[in-house]
A = this chain, B = another copy of it.
């Protein structure tokens, strides 16, 4: 082609789209960014041209021209490495594909709410909130004080004031409980995570499973503890130890722990007390964290596709950013996006022992 000053361009440019649609580049830009209203017909034509040319905006050009890159923040606790890595993987995937900048920052559980507010005001365009931060934030009613879009990742229930992407915790708990029932269990203890949306949703799932199987619910089998290994240890010692006498309607044959760490604590104590797991007692976890396969017996648990949740949450947030009209107060809060959970059956559950 001889020498030319023009450098090769990968995909279609905005100019190409404009030419095809028979409009100016500005109009294409307007359609893409929802800045000013565009006549429906014009908009259609532009959208059609974009689709035909498989046009994708150049993030660098956009950043340069607007003198700013879209920056979305993700707050995290240093401790939750499994949660964090999965979410970072997913979020980074979406962010780097779309060309927005992902800023991550640790927060302090004791000042979580203030940390959110401060982080949001640090020049961010949007915010991604992992659990349990998103639930706390929603419960606090502070979301009204934030003027950038927020998306909650994996909250236990849909949140009234924040858009979210999550699994159906109620259904997951229903499935887990049902799998225990299929194994013949009828005396199933449930560890409730007090004061959390997750706890509430899962309790409902547990109850529905019992109800549908015609198993009466026993309040003595609803236990409470905070979701840590050590709290699990304390609870396990209290419930499995000899100190407490068997409940009236007979002993439980299975325990649904609040998460994998707690399940590990139950396994630990049960083993120490000479019980055989799962022959004498079935135990389930929740989350499918690394510890689930680092102990014996390996844990039957439920896995949330955290990377996918984060990826979708990031996409949703960016869409909200690009489309200000959809951002009205609680406009997105009502439409949670669901992804599928997975029941992972391993070695910690067995058929209930015959009497």
Residues in A90-112 with C-beta less than 8 Å from chain B:
92-93, 96, 101-104
A294 at the interface (CB under 8 A from B): yes
A249 CB-CB contact with B under 8 Å: no
- With A8-B67, A60-B69, A64-B60 known as contacts, the answer to whether A290 contacts B92 (CB < 8 A) is no
Q: Is the interface of A mostly helix, strand, loop or mixed?
A: helix
Segment of A80-88, A148-156, A329-337 in the binding face: A80-88
Given the complex, which residues of B lie within 8 Å of A93, measured CB to CB? 104
In the complex, residue of chain B having the shortest beta-carbon distance to the beta carbon of A9: B67
| Known contacts A92-B102, A294-B261, A294-B291; A64/B67 CB under 8 A | no
Given the complex of chains A and B, what is the CA–CA distance between A103 and B102 in angstroms?
12
Q: B residues within 8 A CB of A33?
A: none
Contacts of A82 in B (CB 8 A): 81-82, 85, 290
When all copies of this chain in the complex are counted, the total is 2
Q: How far is the CA of A61 from the CA of B64 in the complex (A)?
A: 6
* Residue A7 interfacial (CB < 8 Å): yes
Report chain B residues within 8 Å CB of A10.
Answer: 67
A119 → chain B, closest Cβ, in Å?
A: 15
Q: Shortest 9 CB-CB distances between A and B: which pairs?
A: A85-B85, A60-B63, A60-B64, A81-B82, A84-B85, A81-B85, A229-B294, A88-B88, A60-B60
Q: Apart from A81-B84, A92-B92, what 19 extra A-B contacts exist at CB < 8 Å?
A: A8-B67, A9-B67, A59-B60, A60-B60, A60-B61, A60-B63, A60-B69, A63-B63, A79-B290, A81-B82, A81-B86, A81-B290, A82-B82, A84-B88, A88-B89, A88-B92, A229-B295, A261-B294, A264-B294
